[in-house]
Amino acid sequence: MTLSASNTEELLVEQDGHIVTMTLNRPERLNAISRAMLNELSEKMVEADKDPEVRCIILTGAGRGFCSGLDLIDTRHRQDESGKNVDSGSNQPRQLFDLRDAPINVMWHTDTPIICAINGAAAGYGMDMTLLCDMRIMADNAKLAAVTAKRNVVPESGGTWLLPRLVGWAKAAELYYRGRTVSAEEALEIGIVNAVVPKDDLLSTARQWAEEVAENAPMAVQTTKRMMRSGLEESYDTAVDHLMAHLHGLFQSEDFQEGVKAFIEKRKPNFTGR
């Protein structure tokens, strides 16, 4: 199965074997998130996650920036002179937020591993998207900008939940309250990113990591991710119980038999996802 073509030029999607690369493609705006890009990113993430042939996703940006956040200029254009949103209208009833199909929720619930190749500055929504990825590889000239307080907004896309879990409360508070911009070197030092590489080596390194992920049994990798995600909110006993339930199913799979056989025969296993 091959992913369908993207409906917008603002998101480039390329599938090569078991790996899908998604590239935010508004380089002239430092890949600021537009509505079209939001919708397409959600759709393609869901499609890739449902495709049994896809075993790893790489998310990156075109040009010199990863993502400068939500397109604030585009948002202002959708407001009239009084500041009211012209899309919604003042007479429409107030509705609850529905974020089920938003990229921030789709990415969180995606079982397929996501590697973020941070090619340039990531700010606001863009920084939150990097935090939602499982692993982050950063170009040595890239930066993470926790500057929402300088715009009178908050890290609305999961940042306040994710960042303290990655670096601890005190460091997250320092970054957010002071509105700090973090270099690649510091991001590595405090544990936000897994690796820092020269910018020319970024995509090749991300590809190498993705290939290593894709060589492993996809059901085991995706189950491990799901259990790690659930374990953030479960007790130890509950997590172990869930793990044992999943393990029983993995024992019945063809890939388990292949893994055992490959171990005995001292060769690399050939996993099929069955």
Q: What is the pLDDT of residues 26-42, one digit of tens each?
A: 999 999 999 899 999 99
Domain extents in the chain: 11-215, 218-265
Q: What is the pLDDT of residues 117-137, one digit of tens each?
A: 999 999 999 999 999 999 999
pLDDT at site 129: 95
Assigned architecture for domain 11-215: Alpha-Beta Complex (3.90)
Mean of the pLDDT values across residues 208-222? 97
Q: In percent, how much of the chain has pLDDT > 70?
A: 90
CATH number of 218-265: 1.10.12
pLDDT at site 5: 75
Whole-prediction pTM value? 0.89
pLDDT at site 81: 44
pLDDT at site 92: 54
Residue 217 to residues 9, 18, 55, 224, 273: CA-CA distances in angstroms?
Answer: 33, 12, 9, 11, 6
Sign of CA pseudo-dihedral 226, 227, 229, 234? positive
Strands (E), the chain: 11-16, 19-24, 56-61, 65-67, 114-118, 121-123, 135-139, 143-145, 181-183, 195-197
Q: Which residues have a Cβ under 8 Å from the Cβ of 159 and sit 6 or more positions away? A: 127, 128, 131, 146, 148, 176
Q: What is the pLDDT of residues 218-250, one digit of tens each?
A: 999 999 999 999 999 999 999 999 999 999 999
Q: What is the pLDDT of residues 71-88, one digit of tens each?
A: 866 555 444 444 455 454
Q: In percent, how much of the chain has pLDDT > 90?
A: 80
